[in-house]
């Protein structure tokens, strides 16, 4: 199976497994795991902050970050299809008692005027206090689209004007940084708290990080314990994270090049794909002209040995390129998927 359903499908490579097997470990909850401590030190610098906290998953990282940047009853603003809005089971409301307000987005981004218009005048005592803005870069449900530094700066300035905390869901921050041609820290340092996932493009079996000021990370560490994320000999996993920072960051550009090749190949074969939308490692297929449901499309592609998956938009499917996808896989997918979805019939139509 050429598994393009998600970049979470990567398996740790033999070299990563070797690094894990050789990890020096200790009790992480006691602050005694040297490999975790080393990963947190490296990740803080990588993300442009003073300190970082290692946690098991990116969802947990997001939920801890939102909790430490707000008080119960506060309101958070996010793009309406952001992962924290639609894919974490209402976690911000459940874990942090946040009022969740979705802003309509354009390719996953929103404008400072939208934030300004949404900030409530809570002085009368009736309304929730708008306190938190969260940005997702790259933005998953819009197809791995990026926020530019200028767009981020405009939101950061508005957040400062209105005393709002700013969080980055940087699950795919390395993809964003690669696409923008800047170090991840250049994006990360613009936020009060940044989260990074190790088990997507970076190819680890699990793990995520939250970064921020030393003071904020004291709160994050307490949050981690509260959420049940304080671990024991976690260095075995942190070693994968260190390996990924050393070996899997630069190579993200290969995933982006392969995604572009896939988008071009599929478009040339008559699949409804707009290659201009592929900024990072996602390719989106518009099912509407093909007259297929996503379940039909998924089954037909799977029967040809290619995994693609649905999105929040019922007529859009996605293919996500990652570390375990080779040039050969891309060429085979270019051949198989248009045939499976009946695109070739459209070329002469």
The contact set with ligand PLP (CB under 6 A) reads: 57-59, 62, 83, 136, 140, 169, 171, 197, 199
**Is 197 or 230 the residue whose CB approaches ligand PLP more closely?**
197
Span between the terminal Cα atoms of the chain, in Å = 30
d(CA 305, CA 140): 24
Strand pairing category for 51-55 and 208-212: antiparallel
187 vs 340, which CB is nearer to ligand PLP?
A: 187
CB atoms within 10 A of CB 205: 15
DSSP assigned state of 100: E
Least gap, CB of 344 to ligand PLP (angstroms) = 32
CB within 8 A of 328, min separation 6: which ones?
A: none
Closer of 63 and 270 to ligand PLP (Cβ)? 63
Task: Return d(Cα 187, Cα 177) in angstroms, integer.
Answer: 7
In the bound state with ligand PLP, the residue whose beta carbon lies nearer, of 80 and 304, is 80
CB 73 within 8 A of CB 79: no
Give the residue with the Cβ less far from ligand PLP, 169 or 329: 169
Closest distance to ligand PLP from the beta carbon of 193 (Å)? 14
Nearest approach, Cβ of 129 to ligand PLP (angstroms)? 25
Provide, rounded to whole angstroms, the least separation between the CB of residue 299 and ligand PLP.
Answer: 22
Q: Give min distance, CB of 61 to ligand PLP, in A.
A: 8
C-alpha count within 13 angstroms, C-beta hemisphere, residue 192: 26
């Amino acid at each position: 199976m050429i598994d393009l359903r998600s970049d979470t499908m990567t398996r740790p490579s033999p070299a990563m497994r070797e690094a894990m097997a050789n990890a020096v470990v200790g009790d992480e909850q006691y602050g005694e795991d040297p490999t975790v401590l080393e990963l947190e030190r490296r990740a803080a610098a990588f993300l442009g902050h003073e300190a970082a906290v290692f946690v098991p998953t990116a969802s947990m990282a997001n939920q801890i970050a939102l909790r430490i940047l707000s008080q119960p009853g506060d309101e958070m603003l996010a793009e309406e299809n952001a992962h924290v809005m639609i894919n974490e089971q209402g976690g911000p409301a459940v874990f942090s008692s946040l009022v969740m307000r979705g802003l309509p987005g354009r390719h996953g981004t929103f404008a400072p005027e939208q934030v300004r218009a949404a900030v409530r005048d809570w002085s009368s005592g009736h309304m929730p206090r708008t306190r938190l803005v969260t940005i997702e870069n790259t933005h998953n449900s819009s197809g791995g689209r990026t926020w530019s530094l200028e767009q981020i700066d405009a939101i950061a300035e508005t957040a400062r004007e209105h005393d709002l905390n700013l969080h980055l869901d940087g699950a795919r921050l390395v993809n964003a940084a690669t696409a923008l041609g800047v170090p991840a820290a250049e994006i990360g340092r613009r936020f009060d708290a940044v989260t990074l996932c190790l088990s997507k493009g970076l190819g680890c079996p699990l793990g995520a990080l939250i970064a921020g000021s030393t003071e904020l990370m004291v709160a994050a560490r307490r949050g981690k314990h509260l959420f049940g994320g304080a671990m024991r000999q976690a260095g075995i996993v942190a070693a994968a994270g260190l390996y990924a920072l050393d070996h899997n960051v630069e190579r993200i550009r290969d995933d982006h090049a392969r995604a572009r090749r896939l988008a071009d190949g599929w478009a040339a074969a008559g699949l409804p794909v707009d290659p201009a939308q592929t900024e990072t490692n996602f390719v989106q297929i518009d099912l509407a002209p093909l007259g297929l449901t996503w379940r039909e499309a998924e089954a037909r592609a799977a029967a040809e040995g290619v995994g693609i998956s649905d999105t929040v938009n019922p007529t859009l499917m996605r293919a996500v390129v990652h570390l375990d996808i080779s040039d050969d896989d891309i060429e085979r997918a270019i051949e198989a998927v248009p045939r499976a979805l009946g695109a070739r019939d459209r070329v002469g139509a």
